[in-house]
Amino acid sequence: MVTMDDVAGKAKVSKSTVSRVLNGKLIVSPHIRQKVLSACQELNYKLNFNIQDLVLKSRNGATRNIAFVLVGLQFADPAYARLLDFIAEEVNQAHYQLQLVKLSGEETSRYELPPTLRDLRVDGILLTGDITPQIMALIRDMGIECVVIGNYADELLLSCSNAKVNFQQAVAKGIRLLQKQGCSRMAFADENPQLFSVRECYGAFRHALESCNLAFNQELIYWGNGNLSGVTTVLEPVFAERQLPFDAIFCYDYRQAAEISWLAMARYGQTGRNDMVICTARNFSYYKLPVPTVYVDLNLEGEVNAAFRQLIGRLEGKVECQTILVNSK
């Protein structure tokens, strides 16, 4: 079996240098790093991760495992799949190992958790989804360092660090884009007024109208019937009216904005006539709706980067718990 001593001899460096290279330490020069990696490849060196984890644990209690924990949702959801892409990149670059953990949100005991969390096999957690108070309490009681990704009420976070969207900046950007299109009668739509993030977005909408000297009209606020209920039902009769009561509609969620675009298509057909503009947020620049739309491009990469750097800073004792606002692109 090829050992680390063999790699060190082949590369003509010390064993500690080999260890630093393989653990992602940045204090090694690119030239030395390449020598070590070439030696590993030539010798077909393989790390024994079980032994390595035991050694790390015995030295400083660290496993170099990071868990991405999603509560009550699916990893296949496009929004969270995109988050996962960026998290994997951050974890790989920092030479950590990524564990994926899915929770129902109904867990009330440590012993109902997957072994990865229950047995403290991770150093830290990046947490998002339909987070519940009991999940936050379990994580706090286990003493695992945690950073929450997304917009949640402060009382839910239990003093955990948080990386979240700066709705004030994002929504204001959208309203200004609508103004440039000549819009002045702006509506707001979302399916679930109970979500904290939606209420925060709605508050930012009202603030942005005021800042831009635009009138707020309560009659132009359209709420759906809860999570994943959509907005078609509530807006369908509005789009059937002879004249729309608004010339723009702000709908932050792209999926719901797509529903509004279908209603607009049904209203105008192939005539090309359209007397309203949609404003929505999107993850990819190639996301485009088939009706006049202005877009706020999300910065999920920046949100993940901020969350991961905060988590590593907390694990290394270099930063205090904090809330980090991330601007749209």
For residue 34, the domain's CATH number is 1.10.260.40
Instruction: Looking at the structure, tell me whether residues 274 and 172 fall in a common domain.
Output: yes
User: 45-54, 72-81, 97-106: which has the minimum mean pLDDT?
Assistant: 45-54
pLDDT at 52 over 70: no
Return d(Cα 280, Cα 263) in angstroms, integer. Answer: 15
Instruction: Looking at the structure, tell me whether residues 313 and 263 fall in a common domain.
Output: no
In this prediction, residue 86 has a pLDDT band, given cuts at 50, 70 and 90, of: very high
At 126-173, the pLDDT tens digits run 999 999 999 999 999 989 999 999 999 999 998 899 999 999 999 999
User: 43-57, 103-117, 191-205, 256-270: which has the minimum mean pLDDT?
Assistant: 43-57
Instruction: Looking at the structure, tell me whether residues 263 and 234 fall in a common domain.
Output: yes
Residue 143 backbone class (left: φ over 0; alpha: ψ -120 to 50; beta: rest) = left
Instruction: Looking at the structure, tell me whether residues 144 and 81 fall in a common domain.
Output: yes
Instruction: Looking at the structure, tell me whether residues 172 and 291 fall in a common domain.
Output: yes
**Residues spanned by the domain of 282:** 167-298
Domain count, the chain: 3
Instruction: Looking at the structure, tell me whether residues 72 and 36 fall in a common domain.
Output: no
Return d(Cα 304, Cα 150) in angstroms, integer. Answer: 10
- Among residues 111, 100, 47, the alpha carbon closest in space to that of 76 is found at 100
| Residue percentage of the chain with pLDDT more than 70 | 93
Tell me whether residue 291 is in a domain: yes
CATH number at residue 309: 3.40.50.2300
pLDDT at 270 over 90: no
User: 166-175, 179-188, 223-232, 262-271: which has the minimum mean pLDDT?
Assistant: 262-271
Tell me whether residue 160 is in a domain: no
pLDDT at 58 over 50: no
Tell me whether residue 162 is in a domain: no
Instruction: Looking at the structure, tell me whether residues 197 and 257 fall in a common domain.
Output: yes
pTM, 2 dp? 0.81
In this prediction, residue 216 has a pLDDT band, given cuts at 50, 70 and 90, of: very high
Return d(Cα 228, Cα 139) in angstroms, integer. Answer: 28
